Structure 1
Amino acid sequence: MDKPFDYAQDKPQFFNKKKELPRGADVIDAFSRSLEELFFVRNPRFKKGMPGADEALAKFMNEDAKVINGVYVYYPWMGKTVYLPEEKIYFELRTARNKNIINKEEQDKYRGVKIGIAGMSVGSNVASTLALTGGPKSMRLADFDEIEATNLNRIRAGAISIGQSKAIFFAQNIYELDPWAELEIYDKGINKDNIEDFIKGLDVFIDEMDSIDLKVRSRFICKKHKIPVLMATDNGDNVIFDVERYDENPELAIFNGRVEITEEELGNLKTFRDWIKIAARIVGAEVQTPRLLASILELGKTIAGVPQIGSAASMAGACVSYAVRKIAVGDKLPSGRYDINLDEKMTFGYNTPEGIKKREEHLADFLSKFGK
C-alpha cells in the first residue's frame, strides 16, 4: 500500500454543528459524560453516590458546564465522529490522573516541547507513550516502511493493519487519542537530503533508525543545532538507553564517544554483516544479553532478523517519554548510557561469580566468531 499521507483524509476534521458532519458518519456522544467526570475531577471531595454529590453535580451541570463548548471530531479513516468538550477541557480530563506524578506546570512544559521520532518500530512505542502521558502536542514522525506480520510482536497494531504505512497508522493512533495533536508525517522516511529539515526546530530528536549512515548524520546535525538526542535500543528483555545532550555541550562526541566513524567507514558498509559489526560497536557487545549475542550469530542461518520483543519495546517507550519529560521541565539528565536491565533485577544468581563468568564466556564466544 503506497498511499502518501493525506492531510484531508488522514487527520481529524472538526465541526461545530452536527448538521455539518459528512453524511452517514456515526456519532459517539462523549460530551455530557465528560462534563460529569469534570465535576468529580474538580471537586475531589465528592464521589459518585456520596451524600450531596448528586445535588452538587446538578448545580455544576446547570451553571459551570453551560459555558463549556463542544466540538464534533470526525475521523475520516473510520467514518466515525466523537462529540467532545473543547480542547483545554478534554486535555484537563485526559491528564487528570497524572497529578501529581506530573504537576500542572510540568504537564504544560511537557506538552509544549516539539519532538521528532525517526523509525516507527520501537519509535511507535515511544510516540504512543508520549501521547498517552499528555506529552508533546507537536511531533514529527518518520518511517518509509509498511506494517508486516513480523512487526506484530512489538508494535501496537493488529492483523487488519498489515500493509499500512507505519508512519500514517501511528499518526492516526495518536489522533484518535489526541485529536488536537500537531503532527508532521514523513511517510517516505528520511534520507540524507531531508534529514536536516526533519531535525531543525525540534527540542528533542529521538533516533530509532536502522540506518547507520543516518544515525551518524543526524548527530552531526543535532550538534550543529544544539538539539539533544535520545536513543533506546532493545536488548533482549532489557533496554539500553543513550542520552546525548548536544543542547548542553555541542562539543560532545557522537554516541558519547563510544564509536568514531569516518566517512570512509560509512561508505564501506556494504553487507548486513558490516552493518551488524558497526551496530554492535554502537550498542556495545559487552552489555548485550547472551541470548541476543547468540541470536546475532544465527542471523542469515536460522534467524531472519535481529530479535526484538514487545515488552522491551514498551519499556523503551517508557524510558524515552520519561527522559523527554525531564528535559522539558529542566530536570538534570546527564549525557551517558543508562542500562535498564530486568535480568539483573529479577534473575537469580545474575551477579554471582558463576553468573558473571557465564556471561563473560558468551561474550568471548561472540567476539571470537564475529570480531570486535
Structure 2
Amino acid sequence: MIQDYLRKQQDESNDYKPVFYDLKNAHDLQTFETLLETHPHIRINDNIDSQLRELMKIRNPTKRLTVAEYDEKVQAYLGDVSMEKFGVWVYYPWNDRLVHLVDEADFIELRTSRNQHKITAAEIAVLSKKKIGIVGLSVGQSIALTLVMERICGELRLADFDKLELTNMNRIRCGVHNIQVPKVVIAAREIAELDPFIKVKIYGDGMTEANMDSFFTEDGVLDIFVEECDGVDIKILSRIKAKALKIPVVMEMNDRGMIDIERFDLEPDRPLMHGLIPEVNTDTLKGLTDAEKLPIFSPMLALENASARMKYSLGEIGKTITTWPQLASSVVLGGALVADTCRRIALDQLKSSGRYYIDFEQLIV
C-alpha cells in the first residue's frame, strides 16, 4: 500500500522561474482565475496593504503618520485601481504559493530603503543594471544570495552541474526536501523568493567549453565573473575567456578568508591568477580526482599559505575523507567578502588586483 501511494506522488520538478500576473490585464486576469480554480490548495499571501503603508512611511521620513493619514495616502496612490488589482501577483510553482507584491519600481524602493545611505539611490540604480556570473554553487550560493539581498545586480547567471547531497548541507542553506535537486535550481528558487524581479539564468550542466560564450556574453557581456568551481580546466579556461573580454574575476578560497581579485578590465595584459597558473594542457585536466588536482591547485591557490587544519585535511583526501572540507562559517564569510568586493568594483570604488586575507584566527586572538 505504501509503495502504491509513493508511486502516485509527483516527482520534483526543476521549475525556478516565478509567474507574474497583472490583474489590470484581461488575459492575465483570466489565467489568474484559472490558476485559482485548478489549484484548490494554493497558499496565498496577500499583504499588499502592509507594503503600501511601508511605502508611504519611507516616503515621509520626517513625519509620524496617523492611521487616517496612512489610509488617505494609500488610497490616493491607488487611484482608480482596486487593492486586489494593484501591483503584481507572483506565483511560485515549486511550492504552490501566490504572493501579492507592489510593482517592480516600488518593490526595489522598499527592498533597498534600508541600504541608504550606505548605498545611495544613484548607486542602487547603477547596480540594478549589472550582470554577474557565478560558477560553483557551494560558496557560490552564499555569494548569490548576498548579492540579491543587497541588490548588487539586476541579473545573475549561475552554473553548476551537481545535485544536492546531504553531505553538502553543512554549508549550503536549504531544506532536506532539496536532496537531489540541482544546486542551480535551489539557488535560483531562493533568489526568486527573495526578489522575483532579478533576472536569473541557470546552466545546469555547469560551465563547459560549449556554453562558455553564452554564459559570458549572451544578452549582454558580464560585468563581473565570480569563479568558485572545482574543475581545474574550467578554472583556467574561464579566466582566459574573462581576460579576453576584459571582465574582472573574483574568487573566494573558503579558508582564512582569502579573496582573490583579477582586474582584467583595468589591466588587460595581467597574467592569469597573478602568474600562478602552471603551464599545462587543459585537455589533460578533465575528470581528475581531488587528489590528482592538488599538485595543480597548489601553486594557483597558494596552498602553502592555507590554515593548518586545511593543510592537514588535504593530506587526508582519499584516506579518511573524500574531498576538501568547507565550513558554513567560512562559506557565509565568503559570501559577504565577495558581495562587498563586487559592489565596490561595480561602483568603481575598488581598482586593485591581488590576494587578501580576512583571517579570524589572526585577527581575533
Instruction: Please tell me the TM-score bracket, short chain as reference.
Output: 0.7 to 0.9
Cα pair distance change 1:272/1:15, threshold 3 Å:
closer
Determine whether 1:148 maps to 2:154.
Answer: no
2:341, 2:350 within 8 Å by CA — same for their partners in 1?
no
After TM superposition, the structure 1 = structure 2 runs for residues 3-152 of structure 1, keeping only pairs within 5 Å, are 9-17=15-23, 20-21=31-32, 22=35, 23=37, 24=39, 25-47=42-64, 53-66=66-79, 69-152=86-169
Per-residue CA deviation, residues 116-160 of structure 1 (Å, 9 max, x unaligned), is 111111101111000111121211111110001011111111111
In 2, the alpha carbon distance for the partners of 1:305 and 1:336 equals 27
User: What residue number does 1:234 align with?
Assistant: 254
Do the aligned residues in 2 keep the contact of 1:231 with 1:242 (CA within 8 Å)? yes
Q: Give the Å deviation of 1:53.
A: 2.6
1:250 aligns with 2:263: no
Deviation beyond 6 Å, 4+ runs, structure 1 = 1-4
> Given the alignment of the two structures, is residue 216 of structure 1 paired with residue 250 of structure 2, yes or no?
no
Give the match for residue 367 of structure 1. none
1:266-281, aligned counterparts within 5 Å?
A: 266-267=284-285, 270-281=288-299
Q: Quote the offset at 1:197 in angstroms.
A: 2.4
Give the distance between the partners of 1:227 and 1:123, measured in 2 at CA.
18
Report the Cα offset of residue 264 of structure 1: 6.9
Aligned length: 338
Residues 290-316 of structure 1, C-alpha deviations (whole Å, 9 max, x = no match): 111111111111122201001110111
Structure 1 residues 87 and 119, CA, compared in 2 at 3 Å: closer, same or farther? Answer: same
Distance 1:89 1:99 in 2: 15
For normalisation by structure 2, the TM-score amounts to 0.87
State how far apart, in whole Å, the 1-side matches of 2:161 and 2:288 are: 21
Q: Where do 1:165-180 residues align within 5 Å?
A: 165-180=182-197
Return the match for 1:181 from 188, 198, 203.
Answer: 198
Task: Tell me, in whole angstroms, the C-alpha distance in 2 between the residues paired with 1:211 and 1:255.
Answer: 15
Q: 1:304 aligns with which of 322, 326, 329?
A: 322
CA contact (8 A) 1:4 1:187 kept: no
Instruction: Compute the displacement of 1:62 (Å).
Output: 2.4
Unaligned regions of 5+ residues in structure 2, if any? Answer: 1-9, 24-28
Shift of 1:215: 0.7
The one-letter code matched in structure 1 to 2:338 is V
| Deviation of 1:257 (Å) | 1.6
**Normalization by structure 1: what TM-score?**
0.86
Query: Would you say the 8 A contact 1:196–1:218 is kept in 2?
Result: no
Q: Is residue 46–residue 53 contact of structure 1 (8 Å, CA) maintained in 2?
A: no
CA deviations on 1:39-93 (whole Å, 9 max, x unpaired) are: 111112234xxxx533332221221343783111111111110011111101111
1:199–1:261: structure 2 CA closer, same or farther, 3 Å change rule? farther
Matched, 1:341 2:352: no
CA offsets per residue over residues 222-246 of structure 1, 9 Å max, x none?
Answer: 11111111111111xx321000011
CA distance in 2, matches of 1:152, 1:214: 24
**Structure 1 residue matching 2:62: 3-state secondary structure:** coil
SS at match of 1:274: helix
| CA-based RMSD | 2.2
Q: 1:2 to 1:197 in 2, by over 3 A?
A: farther
Looking at structure 2, the residues matched to 113 and 120 of structure 1 have their Cα atoms a distance apart, in angstroms, of 20
Does the 8 A contact of 1:126 with 1:320 survive in 2? yes
Structure 2 match to 1:294: 312
Q: Which amino acid aligns with 2:337?
A: C
Sort the Cα spacing of 1:30 and 1:4 in 2 relative to 1 into closer, same or farther, 3 A: closer
The one-letter code sitting in structure 2 at the alignment partner of 1:308 is: Q
Cα distance in 1 between the residues matched to 2:284 and 2:244: 20
What is the SS of the residue equivalent to 1:96? coil
